[in-house]
Structure 1
Amino acid sequence: MERQISLRRLFEDLRGELQWQCLCQPGEENYLGGDLLAEGDAGGAALVGFFNFIRPYPVQIAGDCELAYLRAHPQAMEQFLSPNLRLLIICEGQTLDEHFYGDLNARHIAAMTTPAAAKGVLARVQHYLHRELAARQQVHGVLVDVLGVGLLLQGEVGIGKSELALELVSRGHRLVADDSVLCIREAPNILTGHCPAALQNFLEVRGLGIVNIREFFGAAAIVRSKRIRLVVEIRDMSDTEMANIDRLQGKVDHLDILGIRLPRLCLPVSAVRNLAVLVEAAARSQYVKESGGDMLADFEAQVLQNVGEE
């Protein structure tokens, strides 16, 4: 389902930052949705821009240059106030004459005024709408920040994901979200994980109950969002499955979330395996891979070199 945001919410969220005021109050029915014609992941950012004759933006930014052009070319006013226009943001302390103001009211176009520079307002509103209208999906799991790498821990219910997250936090790492992770596609290849507001700071540990991580370990043990770089699946495996795991590189495949392929590492769980240490090693390994390193290739080259010397 296409995401939408009301103009009233946009006004309230950015009012303090942009110091704007309403000239024409947005109605209850005034909503902005993702731009279906936008290329790639422009999404909400493609809804905002300066005056465009060919393809008018639903949210138009008007500063000194734009309003000066309209005053010099009144015949362009009809194109400027296109049926597609939902919100006009007047920047740089500019004012509207009564006729212009009357046209906005008659066409039910919301208008806001701000003393901020037009280019700055454009960048901020684009960023806001891109974030708010970006594709998102709720997934089951625990998201932790280990050594700067966002790891999504997954596995069957009761297998020990929250207990593992608690141990990682006790070792100095950070919790993002427990049980439910809100995934947002920030860019074509960037997926960030966020904690739903109702669950922030808390971790549910089977047998122990609800743990307030902020109270236990301090504010530094919590982070509101993190880019997801690796999925670690904890699995209870049979002896046969364990025997089939590649000894040199483990069991690795991919998980698709919102069209982004994330590397997924499967870690067998058992009483003798220290999962926290293994997860830390997995985070370091992912960092090395993203930096261009290939530990398996290095190992094979070292073996071949030593075999040749012998």
Structure 2
Amino acid sequence: MPLQPLERRITLRTLYHAMRSDLRWHWLQGQELGERFLSGDPWADQDAGGAALVGFFNFIRPHAIQVLGRTELAYLEQSGEGIDHFFPPALLALVIGERQPVPALLLEQLRQRNIALFVTHLGARHVLSRLQHYLYRVLAARQLVHGVLVDVLGLGILLQGEAGIGKSELALELVSRGHRLIADDSVLCIRTAPDVISGECPPPLRNFLEVRGLGIINIRDLFGAAAIARSKRVRLVVEIKRMDDTEMADMDRLQGAVGHLDILDVLLPLLRLPVTPARNLAVLVEAAARSQYLKESGVDMLADFDAQVRRAAAEE
């Protein structure tokens, strides 16, 4: 059964404080409305995180936060007809930029309709772009995925497999070889772009790794801050799997067991590594990381091998 996307929402108060230093804005009116929520739509076909929640005022598709500059205020002053359409039910807050004075009539109408008002001296387009960037990230589609996320040679690799198969032990060995841990057991996956999944650790689990026989260990304390990464784009999924003789025999000897894992409608390349007593999985994961990097750079090692075999056969 596919995992359900997590609910995504943020209060006006949290948004105000998060962007206060960046936008240098002031909460002029409606502070009592701070606990109202801005919510992303987890089921939208074209999910843009929270970017679609903010924009210049729009009569066709009104936004939850609307930004006004000199041009928008001039329009409102000239068109009494447009002002009623300007306050749709979805409107939670108004942001006025460019040091524009707030008309008394507008201030009163915002108060009557319970709409918060922020003011700043920054340009309206700058305010809009910064708010869209922040809300896109905060309200992006996300879900928790079971596994261990490590940074190997600059690539985010999600280790998966059944419980007790050795994912955390493999992560510990990778860290001891100079790579970095991002998350153990639960990985928070966030779709930061249409085809990009970033992984990070849920706050309660940061820095910690559970290893059977050792218990909970703090990777930062054992190996230093350089052994921990806050987040990383997931570029490859490595599934550690016990395989019987039949599965091993059916495996493609030339390219291994490959497939894809769907996370938030993004297909990630998946490589299955069989577990046997003689295999050094850390070395294999490092090789898989290098191989994935070459694939993304346009190198096809299987095609190169095939061409080399054909040349050798032609020379005989």
Shorter-chain TM range is over 0.9
How many Å apart are 1:2 and its aligned residue? 5.2
| TM alignment of 1:34-73, pairs within 5 A | 34=40, 40-73=46-79
Q: Name the structure 1 match of 2:245.
A: 239
- TM superposition score normalised by structure 2: 0.92
Which range moves more in the overlay, 230-239 or 100-109?
230-239
Q: Name the structure 1 match of 2:3.
A: none
Q: Name the structure 2 match of 1:206.
A: 212
1:256 paired with 2:235, answer no
Alignment partner of 1:146 out of 126, 132, 152: 152
Q: Distance in 1 between matches of 2:206 and 2:101?
A: 43
Q: Name the structure 2 match of 1:118.
A: 124
| TM alignment of 1:87-236, pairs within 5 A | 87-236=93-242
Q: Distance in 2 between matches of 1:77 and 1:163?
A: 63
In 2 relative to 1, CA 203–305 (structure 1 residues): closer, same or farther, beyond 3 Å? same
Alignment partner of 2:21 out of 6, 16, 20: 16
How many Å apart are 1:54 and its aligned residue? 2.4
CA contact (8 A) 1:38 1:46 kept: no
How many Å apart are 1:122 and its aligned residue? 0.8
How many Å apart are 1:305 and its aligned residue? 0.5
CA contact (8 A) 1:26 1:109 kept: no
In 2 relative to 1, CA 41–240 (structure 1 residues): closer, same or farther, beyond 3 Å? same
SS in structure 2 of the partner of residue 61 of structure 1 = strand
How many Å apart are 1:11 and its aligned residue? 1.3
The one-letter code matched in structure 1 to 2:9 is Q
Q: Distance in 2 between matches of 1:220 and 1:28?
A: 38
The one-letter code matched in structure 1 to 2:210 is E
How many Å apart are 1:43 and its aligned residue? 3.3
Deviations 1:165-210 (A, max 9, x none): 1111111111110010011111221111110000111111111122
The one-letter code matched in structure 2 to 1:234 is I
Structure 2 unaligned segments of length 5 or more: list them: 1-5
1:4 paired with 2:3, answer no
Q: Distance in 1 between matches of 2:314 and 2:264?
A: 48
CA contact (8 A) 2:67 2:96 kept: yes
Q: Distance in 1 between matches of 2:136 and 2:28?
A: 25
CA contact (8 A) 1:8 1:26 kept: no
Q: Distance in 2 between matches of 1:2 and 1:155?
A: 26
In 2 relative to 1, CA 37–141 (structure 1 residues): closer, same or farther, beyond 3 Å? closer
- TM superposition score normalised by structure 1: 0.94
CA RMSD of aligned residues (A): 1.9
SS in structure 2 of the partner of residue 256 of structure 1 = strand
SS in structure 2 of the partner of residue 192 of structure 1 = strand
